[in-house]
Amino acid sequence: MSIAVQKDAGPVLRGPLDFPDSPLSRAARQPLMLGLFLNLQDIRLSTFPSSSTWTYDYNAEIVRKADELGFEIAFSRTQWLPKGGYDGEASLDSFVALGAMAGSTRNILLISTLHVLYGPWHPLHIAKIGATFDHISKGRWGINIVTGHRAIEHEMFGWDRIEHDRRYEMTGELFDVLHRLWTDTENYSYDGKLSPWKIKDGYITPKPLYGRPVLVTATGSPAGIDFAAQHSDLLFITSPGGAHIDSALETLPDHIAGIKARARARGREVKTIINPIIISRDTEAETAAYLKGIVDNKIPSTFGSSSRNAYDSDAVAWKGRGDPRHKQGLGLGGNIEIIGTPEQVVDKLAGLKRAGIDGVQLNFYDFAPDFDHFAQTTLPLLRHAGL
- The confidence score (pLDDT) of residue 314 equals 56
Q: What is the pLDDT of residues 311-338, one digit of tens each?
A: 666 565 556 566 667 677 898 988 899 9
3-class SS at 321? coil
**Cβ neighbours of residue 176 closer than 8 Å, sequence gap 6 or more:** none
- The confidence score (pLDDT) of residue 67 equals 98
Give the lowest-confidence range in 80-94, 129-143, 310-324: 310-324
- The confidence score (pLDDT) of residue 312 equals 62
| Cis upstream peptide for 120 (omega within 30°) | yes
- The confidence score (pLDDT) of residue 327 equals 76
More confident residue, 280 or 156: 280
Residue 18, number of CB atoms within 10 A of its CB: 18
Domain locations in the chain as residue ranges: 3-384
| Gap between the Cα atoms of 222 and 261, Å rounded | 13
**Contact in structure between 230 and 268 (CB atoms under 8 Å):** yes
> What Cα–Cα distance (Å) separates residue 376 from each residue in 223, 325, 351, 372?
41, 37, 21, 6
Q: What is the pLDDT of residues 68-78, one digit of tens each?
A: 999 999 999 87
pTM of the predicted structure, to 2 decimals: 0.89
Q: What is the pLDDT of residues 226-274, one digit of tens each?
A: 999 999 999 999 999 989 999 999 999 999 999 999 999 999 999 999 9
Of 3.20.20.30, 1.10.357.10, 3.40.190.10, 3.40.50.970, which CATH number belongs to 3-384?
Answer: 3.20.20.30
- The confidence score (pLDDT) of residue 316 equals 59
- The confidence score (pLDDT) of residue 4 equals 37
Residue 329: burial class (beta carbons within 10 Å; 0-12, 13-18, 19+): buried
